[in-house]
Amino acid sequence: MRNVISTILIVLLAAGSSLGGQRRKSSVDPEVIRAELKRQAERAFEAGRWQDCIDLSQRCLETWPVPEIGLTDEIALRMGVSHLKLGNLAEAGSYLTRVITRLNPEYAEAYAYRAVVHAKIGLRHRVRADLLSAAELGFDVIGFAENSGEKTLSGLAKDTAFVLEVFEKEKFEFKSLRHDPFACPLENTSVTKEVESEKLSPEEQERLVDEGRRLLNELGILMDKFERGREELPELEEKYNRLREIIAKENGFSDLAGELREIKRQVATFESSDVSRRIIRKRFIKEGEDILRRMNSHLDEGAYKNVYALRGALDRHVRGSRGADFKDVSKWLTGQGDVLSAKAKLREEFSSLDLKITGVILPEPGRQARYLEKLGKLERELEETGKRPGCSQKEVDKLAGRIEYYRERIRPRSVIINNRVYGPGSMIFGQAGLELVKLDRDFAYFDFKGEKMRLNLPKVLSPIVKDE
């Protein structure tokens, strides 16, 4: 019996294998499908059909067993730029960063377009860094910035200091052929090589050494201040960066090369010190808090896409840290970013609710003007009493109590939302997790899934204050 069952199983498996083989032979080669989808995505990109480009590229990636395998630098760049054109800044930053960090670190266009993403979310210092990286790889940064339509980039294109930095970067031999050969030369010119190999004059060497010694002394003073808690971080970084610029001219030194090596040694000592590590940690915290502040600002403005894009920038900032010194701060920054992102999602969801406040119900509507007049007089009286010498706390408390009494008289009792009347403590009909918490003269306050929200109330009366 066992032999019979085994024979049947073998026959069934062989039949299945045969059918599978026939099916594979009759199907279209996946490589052909990929090539066609890639070609269509390229056409869509060139025609400015951004969503089509994203959809076709995604379908192309899905032909692979694991989509990440088929993600090339070209596909990632097209998807990043397409998302950028559609205003999806978080996705654009993610794809462009993937090109730079994983797929092709020498892809100049990725740096240039990521600079646009950073400009849109307000990270100006990263805009500059990305554009300089693109310039070093042979990209026409000035032309790109002038035609970007982005105010930050256009301003940099007119900034003389930035233009000089770009020219300095362009002196290096470019490692990437992904650039416009007419925009900037691929090979160094002989003039540039002569400038690079030119030795500094004795007077210039002496001036730089004197400046380096002065900067070392100032750096020491600033480090002492930093250790005592008097933070001078921007000035300290400025001195350090200038020292690095002087040391970078080491090949031009001859007569005073020994003095410059001593300056270099002292700078290296500073870089390996505990104070330096604390400074790096402080800068890391400062940059992270700056991103959080921008997230808060965009959250208050209702620019939720910018909040999500900055959340991605915060993730990249945290991933760039290494070592135990950053572990606690990275965890805190990530937690704060999660909180702000969650708030943005809830506020975006709240703003999409169909809530129409058409009116308010006031107590004693005929007396509102008189109550407002009385309230204005009492508030002025309280202000004058507080300034009067010898006023007692009892007088102040009495006036404050009367002010609160009249404020209560002008506070709305109920509000009309979507043709239904609600008072504080009521759940809004048809909206899960939405409760009216409080009403005041100007706003209706809600609790929406644990987050506090508010909507403007219709203006029924203006404050009336009459001078006696």
Domain ranges across the chain: 29-169, 202-272, 289-350, 357-456
Fold of 29-169: 1.25.40
pLDDT at 13: 40
Block means of pLDDT (10 residues each) for the chain, 468 residues, are 43 42 50 84 90 90 74 89 88 88 86 88 80 82 80 73 64 40 40 49 84 81 68 69 79 78 78 67 81 88 85 80 71 88 87 83 71 79 76 79 77 83 85 83 84 79 38
| Residue 317, CA distances (Å) to 27, 89, 247, 291 in order | 46, 16, 28, 9
pLDDT at 81: 92
Buried b (16+ CB within 10 A) or exposed e, 216-248: bebbeebbeebeeeeebeeebeebbeebeebbe
- List the beta bridge partners of residue 244: none
